[in-house]
Amino acid sequence: MRMLNQRWTCLLFAQLCLLANLPAAMADETTPVRFHVVDADSNTPLPCRVYLRSAAGTDYHVKSADSAGSAVTYDVKRSAESFEKHTTVSAHPFTANLPPGDYTVTVERGKEYRLAKKTITVGTAPVEETIRLERWVNMAERGWYSGDTHVHRTVAELPNVMLAEDLNVALPLSYWVRDAYTPPAQGDKSVPAKAELIRVDATHVIWPLNTEYELFSVNGKRHTLGAVFVLNQKQPLRLAAPPVAPIAAEARRQGALLDLDKHSWPWSMMLVPVMDVDLFELSNNHIWRTQFFFKQWTIEQLPPGWEIETDGDGFTERGWTDFGLKTYYALLNCGFNMRPTAGTASGVHPVPLGFGRVYVHLPDGFSYDKWMAGLDAGQSFVTTGPMLPATFNGKPAGTTFVHDAPTSVRIEATVLSDTPLESVEIIKNGEIIRTIAPTAQTVIGNHHEQVINETIPVEGTSWIAVRCFSRPLTGDRRRFAHTAPVHITIKDRPLHPRQFETQFLTNLVKQELVRNRGVLSDDELAEYERALQVYRKLHATAIPSQ
């Protein structure tokens, strides 16, 4: 009886061992799957971004199947709902070795191709799949070229990623300093770069010499100031921050542009008047393809009465976007004629390169110098989805018109979207003055179009812009586009900000003066005092809030 029990125990142990090893054995049984991605019309192979997920929710990376090809993996996670796991691949076949089962492959290429999704079943026999990407708009043919002004990808991987995203200009922040009083070259994230244009091809280029001051500590202690970028430098910067005015002067000497990054960093509203910042990121690095994450970030700045959407957790994605737009409008009303841009911080956050991007109009064809000049001139629109080329009295966005008497502005635009449009709105001095209902849009080929032909009366000095919102096919994640403004100067009829705007800006700088006393030096605090005087002077001329 004891021998029988021993034999039974040994048999049971052997079976348990077999069962324990079974998942590993099954995992070793993989099948090669080979993919081709081509343009649906021309059958030309395309570079692209690839997501591959099993029915059980496991994500996989792919690799190039061609020795001449390349594949760059990207895996950044902020939470279980907010993550980005994909591979950007060159215009070559790519492969994955997968256990038997069902999978979904999702393929995207920037903004001008429709997303393609396909379900495949993998068994024991090799699988070969062709995925056709359908282009819904070709902006280069219309004279528009895209860029991302907040990039943390390496220069080595950018050629692959830029082509996969069809992003024309990338400005990687090679110099990145995070401690006050530290020169950029000594930043712990800095990588030396030269002032030499890197040409991926004739219409895709990298300017590698750019700097981010993103200050989280002062004198070795945690104390956040904020971030600002210096773009298109000709020489590495030797100046530390704070103070910031000398950095602005050196940037001007080098022909560089200053980009505000996010509007609600602690020092942002000081930077605008003190540095005379050029660019405002209407689509910033908190706006992702995946779920909105930074719901509590700077929620304490939320101004009362601005009707910014929130929920029980803080900002909604719509609310955060609206907060940025309304802050931009307040600055424009104060006379700070900042031009719009877009940045993702891809490389740090879970977001594809160029998810939010700025398109610049170059009717005579692409060149980097002309693109930067067009960005600086505001001949642009920002988008996370729709396309919004527009003219104002036949002139591009960014134009300034000067008149002796009241006038009008004729707006002509064709708004394009691969999903239905929710609304098109004309903004004048920060207010929605006209809404074009989506009932007028038509479906042309594989996209939606809304033709705009509106005349706007202008009684006094004003700025005017157009924005639109599109609806996704599923869910509630709307996308938007926004033109740069045009400015209309009417003699003896100046533009005045609204009191609630100047009060908001004044309060922010006053709070920072209090917070920074005992931390920053008197000379550094003087920059906040200077900004405060600017906003107080504007407040004295502001019109009463409605």
The yes-or-no verdict on residue 36 having pLDDT over 80 is: yes
Q: How far is it, in rounded angstroms, from Cα 60 to Cα 164?
A: 18
Q: Report yes or no: 531 and 269 within 8 Å, Cβ to Cβ.
A: yes
Question: Residue 443: pLDDT band by 50, 70, 90 thresholds?
Answer: confident
Q: What is the mean pLDDT of residues 449-454?
A: 93
C-beta atoms surrounding 312 within 10 Å: 5
Q: How far is it, in rounded angstroms, from Cα 390 to Cα 380?
A: 9
Please state the three-class secondary structure of 277-335 as a single string: CCEEEEECCCCCCCCCCCCCCCHHHCCCCCCCCEECCEECHHHHHHHHHHHHHHHHHCC
Question: Residue 474: pLDDT band by 50, 70, 90 thresholds?
Answer: low
Mean of all residue pLDDT scores within the chain: 93
Question: Residue 367: pLDDT band by 50, 70, 90 thresholds?
Answer: very high
pLDDT value of position 446: 83
8: left (phi over 0), alpha (psi -120 to 50) or beta: alpha
pLDDT value of position 10: 42
Q: How far is it, in rounded angstroms, from Cα 512 to Cα 528?
A: 8
Q: What is the mean pLDDT of residues 70-87?
A: 97
Q: What is the four-CA torsion angle of 158, 162, 168, 173, rounded to 10 degrees?
A: -30
Helices (H), 123-170: 158-165
Percent of the chain with pLDDT over 70: 94
pLDDT digits (tens, 9 = 90+) for 292-317: 999 999 999 999 889 999 999 999 99
Q: How far is it, in rounded angstroms, from Cα 226 to Cα 135?
A: 39
Question: Residue 546: pLDDT band by 50, 70, 90 thresholds?
Answer: low
Q: How far is it, in rounded angstroms, from Cα 287 to Cα 477?
A: 11
Q: How far is it, in rounded angstroms, from Cα 425 to Cα 204?
A: 32
Q: What is the mean pLDDT of residues 21-40?
A: 76
Strand partners, 101: 122
84: left (phi over 0), alpha (psi -120 to 50) or beta: beta
Q: Phi then psi for 489, rounded to 5 degrees?
A: -100, 120
pLDDT digits (tens, 9 = 90+) for 155-210: 999 999 999 999 999 999 999 999 999 999 998 899 999 999 999 999 999 999 99
Amino acid at 115: L
pLDDT value of position 445: 77
Q: Report yes or no: 405 and 490 within 8 Å, Cβ to Cβ.
A: yes
Q: Report yes or no: 25 and 16 within 8 Å, Cβ to Cβ.
A: no
pLDDT digits (tens, 9 = 90+) for 241-257: 999 999 999 999 999 99
Q: What is the mean pLDDT of residues 507-523?
A: 97
CA distances from 114 to 117, 385, 388 (A): 10, 11, 17
CB neighbours of 221 closer than 8 A, spacing ≥ 6? none
pTM: 0.93
Question: Residue 236: pLDDT band by 50, 70, 90 thresholds?
Answer: very high
Q: How far is it, in rounded angstroms, from Cα 519 to Cα 293?
A: 30
Amino acid at 401: F
Q: Report yes or no: 536 and 510 within 8 Å, Cβ to Cβ.
A: no
Select the more confidently predicted residue: 409 or 442.
Answer: 409
Q: Which two tokens stand for residue 488?
A: 């209309």
CB neighbours of 515 closer than 8 A, spacing ≥ 6? 266
| H and E: helices and strands count for the chain | 8, 35
Which residue carries 């909604």 as its tokens? Answer: 316
Q: How far is it, in rounded angstroms, from Cα 528 to Cα 507?
A: 12
pLDDT digits (tens, 9 = 90+) for 126-167: 999 999 999 999 999 999 999 999 999 999 999 999 999 999
Q: How far is it, in rounded angstroms, from Cα 407 to Cα 464?
A: 13
The yes-or-no verdict on residue 18 having pLDDT over 60 is: no
The yes-or-no verdict on residue 492 having pLDDT over 60 is: yes
Q: How far is it, in rounded angstroms, from Cα 355 to Cα 78?
A: 17
pLDDT digits (tens, 9 = 90+) for 314-333: 999 999 999 999 999 999 99
pLDDT digits (tens, 9 = 90+) for 112-121: 999 999 999 9
CA distances from 507 to 107, 321, 519 (A): 46, 21, 19
